[in-house]
Amino acid sequence: MKTLVVELGARSYPIYIGPGLLDQKQPLASHITGRRAVIVTNDVVAPLYLDRVRALLGHFEPVIVVLPDGEQHKTLGDLNPVFDALLTHRCDRGTTLVALGGGVVGDMTGFAAAVYQRGVPFIQIPTTLLAQVDSSVGGKTGVNHPLGKNMIGAFHQPRCVIIDTSTLGSLPDRELSAGLAEVIKYGLIRDTRFLAWLEENVDRLLAREPQALAFAIETSCRSKAVVVAADETERGQRALLNLGHTFGHAIETGMGYGSWLHGEAVAAGMVVAAELSCRIGWLQPPDVARVRTLVERARLPTRIPAQLGAGQVLELMAVDKKVEDGKLRLVLLKALGEATVTADVPRAVIMEVLERCGAGT
């Protein structure tokens, strides 16, 4: 088991990474301070792992909440079953929520923990690659609104993150690829050595070689921990972690939540970001080709679906959280391994690139 730490002063917490952690009482049990625990999971993950986690928490007699699977079930109203369970079981402020599942379960459980009785502790046990390398770390929690992804939420850091790498054995191929999108992201925004490693090892990752996956997860979590520690509430460099996300959120919202996986939309969004970075003279065409090839090899989409018009995508991007005083701020690449935020790209140039990347006219 490897341990990384997200350094946030009094809110610092460990990330545990290793195979078989779902069969170990520690470190999980030691991070539950009160008398009660509530496990929140979904109907796909529950049959696979719920009994094991419940067994680890036996003496807490955990309350169980099983949510429906999928991004389309991540709304404000979908939180009601969590609050109903918490109140029906008289859970007080000392209750710890445990998120067992992918990014949707983690975001929803974290947000429920952030606002239940104005804040209770929670723990992340991510079971998808995407959640393990990205969404479970850093304390971004929230739900979607029909008009925008993650528009309602809170910063609320978990007490710990427990990544059992063995859970990836049961992950559908499509979900594995979706997770790789966020892994590739770290290479693109801040780590060219890792980018080169990914280009060499993407096939091993797709073949689920445990050592390759463990290295990719650890490297990703380390990157995320450093960025979050430096900028918890995204006033500066944390925004760089959103490479591809403004385009991606527009795709997810435009196509209807649950149609594209988050990682798939981010993958296409990163290619668009690379193309746009090239169009304004920051990247060279061979750089863009490297991005596109790696995304393709990870079996991820590289184009905006044609049924979304470029104007529609731009509209949807305009409600993104990266907008400030009406200006659309984009994460682009000055070079491979060097992301930056800019609000200086003319709309016409964005439109042109959106169309070149597949958006309808």
Q: Which residues are catalytic?
A: 118, 140, 182, 224, 234, 238, 242, 245, 249, 262
- 93, 174, 193, 334: residue in contact with a copy of itself (rule CB under 8 A): 93
Q: Report the half-sphere exposure of 10 (CA within 13 A, side-chain side).
A: 1
Q: Does 152 bind a copy of itself (CB under 8 A)?
A: yes
Q: Does 63 bind a copy of itself (CB under 8 A)?
A: no
Q: Does 88 bind a copy of itself (CB under 8 A)?
A: yes
- Residue 280, classed as helix, strand or coil, is coil
- 76, 196, 214, 351: residue in contact with a copy of itself (rule CB under 8 A): 76
Closest Cα to residue 133, out of 186, 82, 88?
Answer: 186
Q: Does 29 bind a copy of itself (CB under 8 A)?
A: no
CA–CA distance from 152 to each of 65, 141, 321 (Å)? 21, 9, 10
- Measure the CA–CA gap between 49 and 33, rounded to whole angstroms: 23
- Measure the CA–CA gap between 13 and 6, rounded to whole angstroms: 5
Evaluated on CA atoms 47, 49, 53, 58, the torsion sign reads: positive
DSSP 305: -
Comparing CB distances to a copy of itself, the nearer of 36 and 222 is 36
Q: Which stretch binds a copy of itself (CB under 8 A): 86-94, 177-185, 286-294, 341-349?
A: 86-94
Q: Which stretch binds a copy of itself (CB under 8 A): 185-193, 262-270, 314-322, 334-342?
A: 314-322
Nearest distance in Å: CB 35, a copy of itself = 5
Q: Which residues of 77-99 are buried (b: 16+ CB within 10 A; e: fewer)?
A: ebbebbeebbeeeebeeebbbbb
- 9, 10, 118, 281: residue in contact with a copy of itself (rule CB under 8 A): 118
Q: Does 203 bind a copy of itself (CB under 8 A)?
A: no
Nearest distance in Å: CB 61, a copy of itself = 12
User: What's the start-to-end Cα distance of the chain, in Å?
Assistant: 51
Q: Does 57 bind a copy of itself (CB under 8 A)?
A: no
- 326, 346, 348, 361: residue in contact with a copy of itself (rule CB under 8 A): 326
Nearest distance in Å: CB 115, a copy of itself = 5
- Measure the CA–CA gap between 146 and 190, rounded to whole angstroms: 32
Comparing CB distances to a copy of itself, the nearer of 73 and 290 is 73
Nearest distance in Å: CB 140, a copy of itself = 7
Indicate left, alpha or beta for 26 from its phi (over 0: left) and psi (-120 to 50: alpha). beta
Site string for a copy of itself, 220-259 (x = CB under 8 A): -------------x--------------------------
C-alpha angle 258/217/256, rounded to 5°?
10
- Residue 197, classed as helix, strand or coil, is helix
Rg (CA), the chain: 20
Comparing CB distances to a copy of itself, the nearer of 54 and 140 is 140
- Residues near a copy of itself, by CB under 8 A: 34-35, 76-77, 79-80, 83-84, 87-88, 90, 92-94, 111, 114-119, 140, 142, 145, 147-148, 151-155, 233, 318-319, 321, 323-326
